[in-house]
Amino acid sequence: MQAARLQVARVIIRSRCKVIRLHRIVFLSGALPALLLAGLLSAPAALAQAGSSTAPAGSATPPAAAAAKPGAAAAPAKSAGEPTHYLPNRFAGRAGMYYKSVWGIDSLSVKWAESGELIRFAWRVLDPDKAKMLNDKKVEPSLIDPQAGVSLVVPVMEKVGQLRQSAPPEAGRSYWMVFSNAGRRVKRGDRVSVVIGTFRADNLLVD
C-alpha cells in the first residue's frame, strides 16, 4: 500500500514538471518575442522625441549666442574728449602780434630741406610795405644757431644767384629763402634766430 502511494506521487510530480517545462517553452517562444518586438517598435519613437528636444551637434549657433561672442561686439565709439591733431599757431601770442604789426608778416617757419643740407625759412606777407626788408636782395640774411655755434648764410648758385625770393612782396603770398647747412650742424629741434638787415626773429624751432 505504501509503495503504491509513492508510485502515484512520483507520477504526479513528473506530470507537474512537464507542465512547468511546457509553460516555460510557451513563454520563451511566444511572450518574449512579443516583448522584444514591442521594444524595437517603440525605440524609433523615443529617439525622435529625444532629438526634438536636443539640437544636433552640427546645428547653427542661435542668434543670441552669436551676439554674445566677443568678436561680434561693435567697436566702441570715440569719446568726445579724445585729442585731435590740431596744432595751434606758435606765434598766436605777443610774438605773433609783434611780427604782424611791425613787419607785416605771419606764419614764420624753419624746416630741414634736402636731408638737412639746407634750412628753409618761410613767411607770409600781410603788409608789403612793412615786409619789403625781407625781400631786399641787397641785404645779406643769416641764420644763427647758438646751440650749434654756427651762423648760416644763403648760398649763391651760378646763373641763379642767391637761393631766395627777392621779388617785391605782395599781400597774401608766401616767400622763402634757404641757408646752407654744410655738415648738418643745425639739427631738428634746435632754436634759431633769423636776421635780415634790421629784421630779427628769435627762438624759431627747426622742424
Give me the percent of the chain exceeding a pLDDT of 70.
Answer: 56
pLDDT digits (tens, 9 = 90+) for 22-70: 445 444 444 444 444 445 445 444 444 544 444 444 444 444 444 444 4
Describe the chain by its helix, strand, coil percentages, rounded to 5: 40, 25, 35
Q: Beta-strand (E) ranges in 6-135?
A: 105-113, 118-125
Delimit the domains of the chain by residue range. 1-47, 94-205
Among the listed residues 164, 174, 187, the one whose alpha carbon sits nearest the alpha carbon of residue 115 = 187
0.85 exceeded by pTM: no
pLDDT digits (tens, 9 = 90+) for 91-139: 557 888 999 999 999 999 999 999 999 999 999 999 999 999 999 999 9
Distant-in-sequence, close-in-space partners of 113: CB < 8 Å, separation ≥ 6: 119, 120, 178
Class of domain 94-205: mainly beta
